[in-house]
Amino acid sequence: MRRREGVTLIEIMMAVIVLALLLTALYHTFSSSRRQAQAVMQAHQTNDELQRLFDKITDDIRESNFLLEGTPPKASLAQSTDLRTDDPANYISFHKVTYDFSIQPKSLADNQYNYTQLRVTYKLEKVDPDQATGPYILWRETLPFDDRRQEVTAQRARKVMMENIDELVFFKLNEPNLPHHDSVCIRARLTGRGKDGKYDSTLLTSIRQRGAEPQ
């Protein structure tokens, strides 16, 4: 009997098919993992952006001396989930005081103080005012006060802190028995938009300002 060498066409085709199936399965597995990893990375990036924003606002509030009366609105923990980003009362406004000890009391005029102030306001506006809902832009507005406690309106300024925010609410907890009573709370939800879809990230933080109102 003559020895047969090589493989049949059928065998080759079967091997190719099996390999193709295997590679396809592996590709799908890899591709899915890659997409998931990308999604997580994107979500993480979104989270990082939100965290960096929170860090900036946290530092700002910690350095402040007093909140303007009525800002932010008060809410219980349960009520806080009902707060709306587009509520006109949803903003926070506080003063940062800078003392100038180089001016001795004797050289101060009767209506002059040895400090100036900066009013900082965080507020949100819709990206598209015509839309019923967000996304929103977070603005940081500043208004200086001179050493007579008069507004220096010419130096009023505003800058964008972040765009495309889906939700961001400022509030104070109206629950005396909670440890963070009277601290400022911020809850924000940001949606990252990658080529493969949207990625949500929500953060809630509590901040207490360190300074006190000048007397």
Partner 1 sequence: MNSFCPPASTTASGRKGSAIVIALGLGFVLLIVIASLRSFTSYRVQNTIMENRNLKALALAEAGISFAMTELSLNSSFRTHKVKIDSAQKQLVWDNDNLPEWQPSIANDSDFSFAQQNTSGKGSYQGTLGDGQFRFRVGLVEYEDDERTKNIDESKCFFKIDSMGRVGDTMRSISCVAQRRFPGREFLMFDMEFLSIVYGEPGQNNVNKFSTGNLYGHNGVEIGQILMDGHSPCTPGTKQELFDMHSIISGAGGIFFWQPTKVTFRARPGMPEETVTMPQSNIPFPQHGTYSSGEGEKYGEVPEEIRGKTPTIPDTLKEKLKGRLLDKNSQISLSPGEPRFGDLKKQAQNGGYIPENDGSNPAQAYKVPAGWAPSSGNSVDARILDFGTGLRKGNVTLPANFNGVIYSDTNLVIKGNPPRDVNIVSKKSVFVAGDFNQRNNKSKKEEKYSFPQDYEQNALLSDDYKENSRKLLTDDLNAGTNPDDPGNYKHHFAAKVIANERVVYDYRSPADCFENEMYPVMKFALAKEFMPAADAETSMLTHAGDGKITADLSDKEATKNKIASYFEKFPLADERDDVPEKAQEQTIAQKFADKFNTADGVSEADFEKFCNEELWPAHRAGYEAYVLSENNGVYKLFNKLLEKVEGKPDKDDDYLYFPEMTTNGIFQSCGVRSNIFYMGPDYSKRYDEIGRSPSCQAAGVGRPYCTMEQMVHRLYGSEVRYATNKTLARITGPSYRPPTRRKLYDPTLPSLDIGDASGDMAAFVILTWKDLRAAPDEFTNF
Beta-strand ranges (E) seen in the chain are: 66-67, 74-75, 91-99, 115-126, 136-145, 157-173, 184-194, 197-207
Q: Interface with partner 1 includes 212 (CB under 8 A)?
A: yes
Residues 48-107 that bind partner 1 (CB under 8 A): 48, 51, 59, 62-63, 65-67, 69, 97-102, 104-106
Q: Interface with partner 1 includes 110 (CB under 8 A)?
A: yes
CB 31 within 8 A of CB 173: no
Q: Return the number of the residue (124 or 173) whose C-beta is nearest partner 1.
A: 173
Instruction: Return the closest-CA partner of residue 56 out of 122, 118, 137, 127.
Output: 122
Q: Cα separation of 131 and 129, whole Å?
A: 5
Q: Interface with partner 1 includes 22 (CB under 8 A)?
A: yes
Q: Return the number of the residue (63 or 166) whose C-beta is nearest partner 1.
A: 63
CB count within 10 Å of CB 199 equals 20
CB of 195 to partner 1, least distance (A): 18
Residues 192-211 that bind partner 1 (CB under 8 A): 209-211
CB of 65 to partner 1, least distance (A): 7
